[in-house]
């Protein structure tokens, strides 16, 4: 049997599980890929931004349940993308746990934007059909009319940090480690964008291996809750060099937190409805079978 390939998600739980031997204790033969998705700055030679209409969903589509070109027996993305990928039989969602990540719509400290209402008609950097896309809409709907929410698709999470720091656009939607880095760099939050992330695995991956992985993460979550200060230094290796020396990761919160509760059929369907009521995809799946799309038993 081949090794179980874990694609990291810019969080500490996999690192803790590896260091503490939790995956090995569960009998998992594994390796953790080194894909942090840092990315170079997204600019043309004239300094203008490139709009990129490709994101997490397209990565799963291209990889047929793997996230991107590299093999990933388990990976993560926002629950909206994983939900719709699973609904379209691209891969299988793991339905017995999810992740909550902090996030926010951020602006430079000297920006005239003070309230969510001030974002009306202002371009906000997000990733296409990725967590920042959906969560920005969700966060702003209580404050703005749909036509006043203006999104600009600019690529990877760290490229959105670049956009905010370089003031290329009025605002950027950041989450997880990029959100915490943005705070350290002096960006200011206008609206909270906390959201759910879920796990996905492609066809052919043994559910037994996925369960071993999840049991290891559960132990790691408890260790992090108890002694977060021991592990925060690992965040430094996930930050691109252009920002690494400008932040003190000891000041970070733990970031993403894994919640071992079910992603129910009702949650799955409500999310499908939310996505397609807003026309984020060209069309809804013709038929969605929760029991096929989600490993929930």
Q: Residue 248 belongs to a domain with what CATH number?
A: 3.40.190.10
**162 and 83, same structural domain?**
no
Which pLDDT score, from 0 to 100, does residue 37 have?
A: 58
What residues contact residue 116 under an 8 Å CB cut-off, 6+ apart?
105, 139, 140, 142, 143, 144, 190, 191
- Whether 272 shows a pLDDT value over 70: the answer reads yes
Which pLDDT score, from 0 to 100, does residue 263 have?
A: 98
Which pLDDT score, from 0 to 100, does residue 60 have?
A: 96
Q: What is the overall mean pLDDT for the chain? A: 95
**80 and 96, same structural domain?**
yes
**185 and 236, same structural domain?**
no
Q: Does some domain include residue 74?
A: yes
**113 and 150, same structural domain?**
yes
Q: Which of these three, 148, 177, 195, is where a domain ends?
A: 195
Given pLDDT bands bounded at 50, 70 and 90, which one contains residue 122?
very high
Which pLDDT score, from 0 to 100, does residue 38 have?
A: 63
- Whether 268 shows a pLDDT value over 70: the answer reads yes
pTM (two decimals)? 0.95
Q: Which of these three, 166, 195, 224, is where a domain ends?
A: 195
Mean pLDDT value of segment 20-44: 84
Q: Which of these three, 195, 220, 252, is where a domain ends?
A: 195
**110 and 251, same structural domain?**
no
Q: Does some domain include residue 250?
A: yes
Mean pLDDT value of segment 18-35: 94
Mean pLDDT value of segment 142-155: 97
Q: Does some domain include residue 133?
A: yes
The answer to whether the beta carbons of residues 122 and 95 sit under 8 Å apart is no
What residues contact residue 264 under an 8 Å CB cut-off, 6+ apart?
95, 296
Given pLDDT bands bounded at 50, 70 and 90, which one contains residue 47?
confident
- Structurally, the chain folds into a number of domains equal to 2
Given pLDDT bands bounded at 50, 70 and 90, which one contains residue 73?
very high
| Dist. CA 209–CA 226, nearest whole Å | 26
**Domain range enclosing 140:** 103-195
Given pLDDT bands bounded at 50, 70 and 90, which one contains residue 40?
confident
Mean pLDDT value of segment 204-213: 97
**Dihedral, CA of residue 267, residue 11, residue 159 and residue 82, to nearest 10:** -30
Which pLDDT score, from 0 to 100, does residue 297 have?
A: 84
**236 and 181, same structural domain?**
no
Given pLDDT bands bounded at 50, 70 and 90, which one contains residue 50?
confident
What residues contact residue 26 under an 8 Å CB cut-off, 6+ apart?
212, 213, 215, 216
| Dist. CA 162–CA 148, nearest whole Å | 24
Q: Does some domain include residue 289?
A: no
3-state class (DSSP) for residue 128? coil
Beta strands in 58-135 (DSSP E): 75-78, 92-101, 103-107, 123-126
Q: Does some domain include residue 295?
A: no
Q: Does some domain include residue 288?
A: no
**72 and 123, same structural domain?**
no
Mean pLDDT value of segment 180-200: 98
Rg, Å, the chain Cα set = 19
| Dist. CA 100–CA 138, nearest whole Å | 15
Which pLDDT score, from 0 to 100, does residue 48 have?
A: 80
What share of the chain in percent tops pLDDT 90?
A: 90
Q: Of the given ranges (36-50, 80-94, 226-240), which has the lowest mean pLDDT? A: 36-50
Percentages of the chain per state (helix, strand, coil), in multiples of 5: 40, 20, 40
Per DSSP, 123 falls in state E
Structural tokens at position 190: 């206008």
Q: Of the given ranges (11-15, 31-35, 39-43, 268-272), which has the lowest mean pLDDT? A: 39-43
Which pLDDT score, from 0 to 100, does residue 70 have?
A: 85
């Amino acid at each position: 049997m081949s090794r179980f390939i874990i694609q990291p998600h810019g969080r500490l739980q996999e690192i803790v599980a590896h260091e503490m031997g939790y995956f090995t204790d569960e009998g998992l033969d594994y390796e953790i890929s080194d894909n942090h998705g840092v990315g170079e700055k997204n600019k043309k030679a004239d300094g203008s931004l490139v709009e990129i209409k490709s994101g997490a969903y397209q990565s799963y589509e291209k990889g047929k349940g793997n996230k991107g070109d590299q093999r990933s027996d388990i990976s993560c993305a926002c629950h909206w993308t994983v939900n719709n990928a699973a609904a379209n039989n691209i891969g299988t969602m793991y339905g017995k746990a999810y992740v909550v990540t902090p996030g926010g719509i951020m602006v430079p400290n000297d920006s005239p934007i003070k309230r969510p209402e001030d974002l009306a008609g202002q371009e906000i950097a997000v990733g296409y059909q990725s967590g920042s896309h959906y969560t920005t809409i969700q966060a702003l709907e209580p404050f703005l009319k749909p036509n006043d929410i203006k999104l600009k698709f600019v690529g990877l999470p760290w490229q959105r940090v670049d956009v905010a720091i370089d003031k290329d656009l009025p605002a950027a939607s950041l989450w997880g480690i990029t959100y915490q880095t943005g705070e350290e760099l002096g960006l200011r939050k206008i609206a909270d964008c906390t959201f759910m992330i879920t796990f996905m695995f492609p066809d052919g991956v043994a559910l037994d291996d996925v369960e071993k992985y999840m049991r290891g993460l559960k132990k790691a979550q408890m260790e992090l809750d108890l002694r977060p200060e021991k592990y925060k230094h690992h965040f430094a290796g996930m930050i691109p060099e252009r920002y690494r020396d400008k932040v003190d990761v000891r000041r970070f919160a733990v970031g993403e937190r894994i919640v071992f509760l079910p992603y129910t059929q009702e949650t799955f369907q409500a999310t499908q409805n939310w996505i397609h009521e807003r026309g984020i995809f060209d069309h809804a799946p013709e038929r969605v079978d929760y029991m096929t799309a989600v490993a929930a038993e």
